[in-house]
């Protein structure tokens, strides 16, 4: 059995790991840590929730602490970790602080949506490890409040998401500010052609590790589709939360406007809810997430900005109020539950407009998802599909389901229109 001790980590790091209750490294940690400790560039593909943050944080802290020179001069940024969202940046920096608590290293996080002056003050005091989002890092670089000339380690976390969000040019500008001689680590949930092209320009003869099959949801997450008319989704969601006494539910919508509207409607239904998306201030986003984690807020309604940036222990329920325009985002959304060996439930409310989206998702995950009709919410077969705006990356094209004449099987309550043999099928009998 591989242990953290077998990696040769310092007693300070082993103590921090033990204090977190971890005894056995995850597969991504088993493969990534030795390569990083050897100084190799690394290209790693792993699903969300597999422990990849510790997979690069632990060896990075090890190498920094070993080579640290206590010369008395002001600290320089020696490790840069780049993430796509504010939430993920804060989460990664928290991990750095947690695992490095017994080491004489300093870290900080910088991102947009908050005042820049406090960040400038922290940078002036000196940090060894900097976690940042691309836009705010370039703001600091433009104001010459950060020096990246001493960076020895460069980590691109959730690289595919950064490309999806249009950060490719920012990443290239940041790369130009870094020393050529450095160790570069790229972590991604997918290895698209764009990611491979990015890696070619940034990494030198990298080691390659792949932990999970491409776009495969965790087997611990039960998945079910509930057919429902578009104008009855909110009523069905409220009924499910209330009747099943769900205490903590993460709900995804496609747009910020839809997230605000649904949050308000659920509150009117007597269900405490908050919305989290890119237009919210960082203070509002932090407050909403904190209230959700503590149980003060029962439902958190989010856009895809939260799909890979939220880490909530033992989150039991994820609901796709609207299917994402890009099928890969479905996997990332439901990956918020079923983490760290816990079971989770992913529910999708699908109307006739989204049948093409559903087909694309099923093609991606290579299975037909079970479809259960909830009594009282049967689909009206006379309703025709409407176009769905696709605003991803500035693309305003609209999508109309190719299956606008498709009918949800026999449409009887509690029945499925496919022959799925999912191991969780017995649990779904409760919907009958």
Domains in the chain, number: 2
Give the pLDDT confidence of 98-146 residue by residue, as tens digits: 999 999 999 999 999 889 999 999 999 999 999 999 999 999 999 999 9
3-state DSSP call for residue 199? helix
Helices 86-99/282-294 angle, 10° precision: 60
Could you tell me if residue 352 is inside a domain? yes
DSSP character for 371? Answer: B
CA 227 to each of CA 263, 366, 384, 416: distance values in angstroms, whole numbers, following the listed order: 21, 20, 14, 10
Token pair listed for 290: 């904190």
> Do residue 274 and residue 133 come from a single domain?
no
> Do residue 140 and residue 240 come from a single domain?
no
Smallest CA-to-CA distance from 129 within 64, 181, 187 is with 64
> Do residue 316 and residue 292 come from a single domain?
yes
Gap between the Cα atoms of 169 and 166, Å rounded? 8
Q: Which residues contact 233 (CB under 8 A, 6 or more apart)?
A: 321, 349, 351
pLDDT tens per residue across all 432 residues of the chain: 689 999 999 999 999 999 988 888 999 999 999 999 999 999 998 876 678 999 999 999 999 998 765 444 458 999 999 999 888 899 899 999 999 999 999 999 999 988 999 999 999 999 999 999 999 999 999 999 999 999 999 999 988 888 877 899 999 999 999 999 999 999 987 788 888 888 888 999 999 998 865 556 667 789 999 999 999 999 999 999 999 999 999 999 999 999 999 999 999 999 999 998 877 877 888 888 889 989 999 999 998 876 556 667 778 999 999 999 888 888 888 888 876 667 889 999 999 999 999 999 999 888 899 999 999 999 999 999 998 876 443 344 444 544 444 455 544 445 554 433 333 333 333 222
Could you tell me if residue 216 is inside a domain? no
Which of 167, 185, 210 is the last residue in one of the domains?
210
Could you tell me if residue 42 is inside a domain? yes
> Do residue 226 and residue 132 come from a single domain?
no
End-to-end CA distance of the chain: 45
Could you tell me if residue 137 is inside a domain? yes
> Do residue 179 and residue 261 come from a single domain?
no
Token pair listed for 229: 């008319």
> Do residue 206 and residue 226 come from a single domain?
no
> Do residue 365 and residue 321 come from a single domain?
yes
Neighbours of 113 (CB within 10 A): 17
Domain interval for residue 18: 4-210
**pTM for this structure?**
0.67
Which of 175, 210, 245 is the last residue in one of the domains?
210
Neighbours of 104 (CB within 10 A): 10
Q: Which domain CATH number covers 121?
A: 3.40.50.300
């Amino acid at each position: 059995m591989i242990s953290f001790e077998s990696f040769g980590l310092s007693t300070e790091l082993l103590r921090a790991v033990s204090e977190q209750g971890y005894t056995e490294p995850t597969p991504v940690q088993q493969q990534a840590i030795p390569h990083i400790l050897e100084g190799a560039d690394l290209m790693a593909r792993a699903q969300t929730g597999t422990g990849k943050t510790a997979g690069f944080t632990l060896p990075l802290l090890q190498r920094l602490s070993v080579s640290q020179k206590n010369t008395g001069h002001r600290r320089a940024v020696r490790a840069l970790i780049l993430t796509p969202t504010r939430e993920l940046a804060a989460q990664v920096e928290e991990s750095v602080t947690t695992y490095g608590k017994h080491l004489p290293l300093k870290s900080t996080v910088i991102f947009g949506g908050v005042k820049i002056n406090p960040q400038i003050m922290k940078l002036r005091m000196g940090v060894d490890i900097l976690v940042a989002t691309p836009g705010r890092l370039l703001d600091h670089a433009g104001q010459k409040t950060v020096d990246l000339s001493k960076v020895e380690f460069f980590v691109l976390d959730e690289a595919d998401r950064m490309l999806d969000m249009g950060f490719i040019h920012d990443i290239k500008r940041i790369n130009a500010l870094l020393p050529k001689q450095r160790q570069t680590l790229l972590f991604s949930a997918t290895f698209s052609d764009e990611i491979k092209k990015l890696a070619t320009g940034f990494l030198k003869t990298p080691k390659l590790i792949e932990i999970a099959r491409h776009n495969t949801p965790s087997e611990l997450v039960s998945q079910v589709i509930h057919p429902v008319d578009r104008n009855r989704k909110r009523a069905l969601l409220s009924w499910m939360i209330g009747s099943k006494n769900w205490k903590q539910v993460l709900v995804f919508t496609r747009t910020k406007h839809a997230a605000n509207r649904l949050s308000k409607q659920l509150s009117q239904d007597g269900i405490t809810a908050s919305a989290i998306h890119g237009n919210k201030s960082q203070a509002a986003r932090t407050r909403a997430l904190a209230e959700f984690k503590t149980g003060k807020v029962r439902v958190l309604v989010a856009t895809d900005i939260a799909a890979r940036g939220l880490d909530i222990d033992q989150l039991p329920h994820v609901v796709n109020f609207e299917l994402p325009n890009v099928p890969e985002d479905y996997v990332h959304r439901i990956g918020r539950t079923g983490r760290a060996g816990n079971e989770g439930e992913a529910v999708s409310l699908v109307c006739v407009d989204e049948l093409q989206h559903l087909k694309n998702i099923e093609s991606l995950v290579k299975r037909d998802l079970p479809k259960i009709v909830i009594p009282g919410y049967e689909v009206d077969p006379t309703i025709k599909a409407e176009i769905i705006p696709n605003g991803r990356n500035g693309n305003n094209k609209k999508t109309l389901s190719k299956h606008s004449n498709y009918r949800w099987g026999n449409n009887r309550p509690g029945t499925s229109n496919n022959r799925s043999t999912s191991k969780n099928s017995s649990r779904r009998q409760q919907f009958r």
